[in-house]
Amino acid sequence: MRRPARVAFNAIPWFNIPRDPTDPASIDRWLLNEPGFRDDYPGVLAEIRDAGFENVMLEALPHQTLQDYERMLAAARLRPAPGYAVARLPEDHGLTLRPGSPEWVRWFDGIRRKAEETNYFGLTTIFLAPELVWAPHLARTMRSAAVGADFRADRLDRVTEVLAEAAGILQQEGVRAGLHSHVGTWIETEAEIEHVLGAVDERMLGASFDVGHLAWAGIDPAAMIARHSGRIVDLHLKDIDLAVAADSRAHPAPYAATMERGIVREPGLGRLDLAGILDALPSSFDGWLIIEIDRPTMSPRDSARRSRQWAAETLS
């Protein structure tokens, strides 16, 4: 197995927590959106460095300048790895926007900010994902994750249009986007992924899969990577409990409830053949492998250390 050198960790275990710990189906609470997290962030970055990582996924807080974030990284002796951009569907927010209208143009200002962040830190790629929306009427997050619930062909076309627009904006700024499918979003099944990749020019949109989210949705990650080997940009790595994944598809459940069952595992603690998945990468692959533990099975500090141990044994 080849051993790619560019490995990073995502700080998500520190800021992705249940809003109501007593309710297994409680929606996520993203601490990074709360101004008070600014004071905790330096300590989080220090713990990632202490775990042995030299790179962390780019995640500047929405209420902080890039210069402030740069100082935080320097203090922690960390370098940034490619970040994450979200392409939001206007209709999920009660809006119908006409392509080319002023409102449509402004809708993608968040994507422009992500391009700016990427270029500021000297990076050239980014994960581009549809939005994970927490709303009572949306089955994919609130009732039936990972099974393509509430599918509509016209909505898939609209999501594809939004992703293509976002990828085009990033491309104009010199940033290579990779499609990042995600359970709980409108792009979670194999057919939905293939629709987007088939509709958008690969010169504009590559593929930056999350191997765990592929497997959760019943997709063979190695086969998916091999099929699209020519457009793989970067990857998110995690392990998962395949029994929980299979049960969640056989008996559809809310996204958060399946997370709380421990579907996500640190690398080596689940049942994914991560070595086989990495072997499916083309010999020309020079992208990033970002370890992402959406909901850790242990403390965030220990999760980072366990992940770094696996990386040192497997990727170096």
> In the structure encoding, which two tokens stand for residue 269, read together?
């603690």
Predicted local distance difference test score (pLDDT) of residue 24: 64
CA distances, 52 to each of 78, 96, 146, 168, 224 (Å): 10, 47, 33, 36, 31
Task: Find tokens 């089955």 and name the residue.
Answer: 139
Neighbours of 158 (CB within 10 A): 16
User: What pTM, to 2 d.p., does this model score?
Assistant: 0.96
| 124 contact partners, CB below 8 Å, separation of at least 6 | 118, 174, 175, 176
Residues belonging to the chain: 316
Predicted local distance difference test score (pLDDT) of residue 90: 98
CATH superfamily label, 7-314: Divalent-metal-dependent TIM barrel enzymes (3.20.20.150)
Q: Rounded to the nearest 5°, which phi and psi values hold at 227? A: -65, -35
Predicted local distance difference test score (pLDDT) of residue 19: 79
- pLDDT tens track, the chain, 316 positions: 455 569 999 999 999 888 777 776 677 888 999 999 999 999 999 999 999 999 999 999 999 999 999 999 999 999 999 999 999 999 999 999 999 999 999 999 999 999 999 999 999 999 999 999 888 889 999 999 999 999 999 999 999 999 999 999 999 999 999 999 999 999 999 999 999 999 999 999 999 999 999 999 999 999 999 999 999 999 999 999 999 999 999 999 999 999 999 999 999 999 999 999 999 999 999 999 999 999 999 999 999 999 999 999 998 7
Element holding 10 (H helix, E strand): none
Predicted local distance difference test score (pLDDT) of residue 236: 98
Q: Report angle CA 180, 186, 188 to the nearest 5 degrees.
A: 55
Dist. CA 178–CA 118, nearest whole Å: 14
Predicted local distance difference test score (pLDDT) of residue 25: 66
Question: What are the strands of the beta sheet with 235-237, ordered from one edge?
Answer: 79-81, 55-57, 7-9, 289-291, 235-237
